[in-house]
Amino acid sequence: MDEFSAYIASLDGSVRNAVEHVRARALQLVPEAEEGKSYGMAALRYRDSPLVSAQATAKHIGLYPFSPPAIEALAPALAGFSTSKGTIRFTPEQPLPDDVLDRLILFRRDEIDAMRSR
């Protein structure tokens, strides 16, 4: 079992479902992504760069796109969610809408593609 799948398997109930949803959406949008680690977290990697991770805490799930510009670009769509430079916090009861999650993942994919094409 790969790192992200093993991490998700260690979670319970609605938290597991919410984190798995992030992983599944990312793999649907970026099928070339592979499981691995980034910054010590289980994550999906694309073209040898971190794409996205989601990690559960006691009070929320942290979504890590590994890109402050991605969070800044989607700031208006993230109103109502707690954010910081590198994290978007959500709960299973108030998940990130799929269209926002998709835009975030695709923004990061495009950012990695642009970086690799230089």
User: Torsions phi, psi of 6, nearest 5?
Assistant: -65, -40
| Residue found by looking up tokens 């989601």 in the block | 54
Please report the pLDDT score of residue 118 as a whole number: 79
Q: Report the pLDDT value the prediction gives residue 1, as an integer from 0 to 100.
A: 52
Structural domain range at position 95? 3-116
pLDDT of residue 6: 92
- Asked if 5 and 20 touch (Cβ cutoff 8 Å), the reply is no
pLDDT in tens, the chain (118 residues): 588 999 999 999 999 999 999 999 999 999 999 999 999 999 999 999 999 999 999 999 999 999 999 999 999 999 999 999 999 999 999 999 999 999 999 999 999 999 988 7
Residue 75 sits in a domain whose CATH number is 3.90.1150.200
| Structural domains in the chain (count) | 1
